[in-house]
Amino acid sequence: MQENNDHSISDDMIAPADQTSMWDTIRYGGTSQQISPFARDPKEEAHRRMLARHKLWLDSLQHEYPSPYAHYRIGVYIRYFNQTRHENYLLFHKQEFIDTIALCPNWTLVDFYVDEGQTAPYMENSKEWSRLLQDCLDGKIDLIITQKVSNVTRNPNEITLTARVLATQPKPVGIYFVNEDIFTLASYYQTDMREKRFFPSPDWQMLPDDQDEERRGLLE
């Protein structure tokens, strides 16, 4: 059987040098670079590297947590989905929070806010989360504790904006996500949290709560 020594590559198969393996360089004499079908998309690779650098930065920080010596009025948010590990998982989960909060004498548990469902819908469809936010704006809650970000929303932009709004209250309200180990009032987040470019312009107005009020506004 005659060996085929024709290793020529068409122009449309030429790729940047950083997408070529050392084996290909040796095999083809370093004169051509072939795009591997397994090569990552350059934009996705750049994004992945950026996230990796950010994670390294976060890991290098001394993490801050809600101080056990501070006086916090706490609202615990739970997204409840029927579990099989315990007979009554909701009571078990609540007791875990009660026991943890009891370790900090200056912390006061105000209420549990429980929405049902395996995955979080958009925030406006979560009645108990909305009630919790209203209690925060009314000055009843200083700290929200919840298990994970996905309990609250599927859209990270929603929780980012919410955290900023709560952080800019006369008495800032923080959120602590247990699984992700994120405390939104940590000092290394303060600059981002107080960035007001994300807020509406000063002349914005809230939409009316009901159609009759909206109709009256249009007639005036």
- Domain range list for the chain: 11-60, 72-198
What is the topology classification, in CATH, of domain 72-198? Rossmann fold (3.40.50)
pLDDT score, position 159: 86
Cα 213 → chain centroid: 35
The alpha carbons of the chain give a radius of gyration, in whole angstroms, of 26
Q: Are 163 and 157 in contact (CB under 8 A)?
A: no
Q: What is the pLDDT along the chain (220 residues), one digit of tens a residue?
A: 454 555 444 444 444 544 455 555 555 555 445 566 677 777 888 888 888 887 787 778 778 899 999 999 999 999 887 655 667 888 888 999 999 999 999 999 999 999 987 766 667 778 999 999 999 999 999 999 999 988 888 887 888 889 988 988 889 999 999 998 899 998 877 776 666 655 555 565 555 555 454 445 544 5
Name the residue among 166, 200, 120 with its Cα closest to residue 174.
166
Could you tell me the CA-to-CA distances from 196 to 22, 167, 177, 185, 201 in Å, in that order? Answer: 49, 11, 23, 16, 10
The packing angle between helices 127-137 and 156-167, to 10°, is: 20
pLDDT score, position 13: 46
pLDDT score, position 176: 96
pLDDT score, position 28: 54
Q: Where are the alpha helices (DSSP H) in 138-209?
A: 156-167, 190-193
Q: What are phi and psi of 153, to 5 degrees?
A: -160, 160
Given strand 174-177, what is the order of strands in its sheet?
Answer: 107-116, 72-80, 143-146, 174-177, 182-183
Both tokens of 41, joined, read 């998309």
Type and span of the H or E element at 137? helix 127-137
pLDDT score, position 47: 84
pLDDT score, position 33: 55
